[in-house]
Amino acid sequence: MERIFQTYALCATAVAAVLACTTLRLRLARRRAPWHEALRLRYLRCVVHALLEGYGLPQPAAKRTQVRLLLAETIAGVTAATYGPDTGVLRRIVAAYALDELLLRRIRRSRGYRRAYYLSLLAMLPADGSAARRAEHYGRGNRSVRFYALLLRLTNDPSRSIRLIADYPTPLTLFEIGEIVALLRRGALPVAYGPLVASHNRNLRALGLAIVRRFGIEEAEQALLRIVDREPADELTREALFTLCTLRRPLTRRAVTRRIAAMDRTERRTLLRRMAFEGYAAGALRRVIDAEERPYYEALVASYKRYLPCSVRDF
């Protein structure tokens, strides 16, 4: 019996020690967090000031790796939130603190999603082309690593963007296409939508449709109608229909109604939800919605709340 009590006492002591260590770590983390965030805010102000004034370098508190990594994250965030920033100023900051070398070293020593994260940071930095060349072999890693290696090559060599995307061996997901469209929004990847929508390459066409949706390019309506009318039923044909809905174009044309009629129940309901979200009235879709689907669509329309501008005289 005494031995049992001794065992219980030892277990209780071990549990208490673990709880004490965990509490101490949490307290230390809370103490470090304000310093960490304060330094991040300081770097943000320094980088924005350098962009506005055209000169100046932020002074890291130390040459430690974590501090330089924080500066790299700050520059990446500024690049993501601005359109056409002065890459000369940012390039001088990257070169002064060897941020590209730091990230390449982290990429080489990391694995999996951590490696993908460092590749995404490096893709946001205005580094020279040697960084992209040294990271080319990471295109054979897992899916996230492969994509961010592609993104790094796109940002360092925009002139070859169409060829790089066309040669990418994996179909791009909606998230990955959104990341590439974000480059377009920042002015880092000048690509016209016309050749992309007309391309027979799956990734290029998917990117072209995403560009049309994101920027609301109504001039692409005829190209979308040709896809709906002439192309075989597949994922991209459905994306063309969704793009027409996003542009709020008429859906009563013969090519559109014929394509919708050939859809199965699940696909039609997905399209109806998109129509309701974009504000199509049930009365304007008599040729598209049959009597069986009309109650379902009217319930969808009633479920969406939209802001309708009005004046004081309406009350």
pLDDT at 26: 43
> What is the rounded distance in angstroms from the CA atom of residue 201 to the CA atom of residue 303?
38
DSSP3 helix / strand / coil % (the chain, rounded to 5): 75, 0, 25
Q: Averaged in consecutive runs of 10 residues, what is the pLDDT profile of the chain (315 residues)?
A: 48 42 46 67 82 70 75 86 77 85 88 88 82 78 87 86 90 91 79 86 92 89 89 86 89 86 86 86 79 84 61 37
Domain boundaries, the chain: 33-156
What's the Cα-to-Cα distance from 203 to each of 46, 165, 166, 248, 305, rounded to whole Å? 39, 7, 6, 24, 34
> What is the rounded distance in angstroms from the CA atom of residue 10 to the CA atom of residue 315?
75
Give residue-wise pLDDT tens across range 64-94.
778 888 888 888 888 888 777 777 888 888 8
Counting beta carbons within 10 angstroms of the beta carbon of residue 249, is it exposed (0 to 12), middle (13 to 18) or buried (19 or more)?
middle
pLDDT at 273: 87
pLDDT at 60: 62
What is the DSSP secondary-structure string of 224-244? Answer: HHHHHHHSPSSHHHHHHHHHH
> What is the rounded distance in angstroms from the CA atom of residue 276 to the CA atom of residue 296?
10
Q: Which long-range contacts (CB under 8 A, 24 or more apart) does 133-141 make?
A: 134/104, 135/104, 135/107, 138/107, 141/115, 141/116
264 neighbors 236 (Cβ within 8 angstroms): no
Token pair 């020279």: residue: 128
Answer positive or negative: Cα dihedral of 23, 26, 28, 30.
negative
Answer positive or negative: Cα dihedral of 297, 173, 107, 114.
positive
Q: Which of these, 253, 198, 202, lies nearest to 227 by C-alpha position? A: 198
pLDDT at 16: 45
pTM: 0.75
What one-character DSSP code corresponds to residue 104?
A: H
Q: Which of these, 180, 173, 165, lies nearest to 211 by C-alpha position? A: 180
Q: Which amino acid is at 56?
A: G
151 neighbors 179 (Cβ within 8 angstroms): yes
> What is the rounded distance in angstroms from the CA atom of residue 48 to the CA atom of residue 90?
10
CA-angle at 265, arms to 263 and 266, nearest 5°: 95
List Cβ neighbours of 211 (8 Å cut-off, separation of 6 or more): 181, 184, 191, 193, 196, 217
155 neighbors 123 (Cβ within 8 angstroms): yes
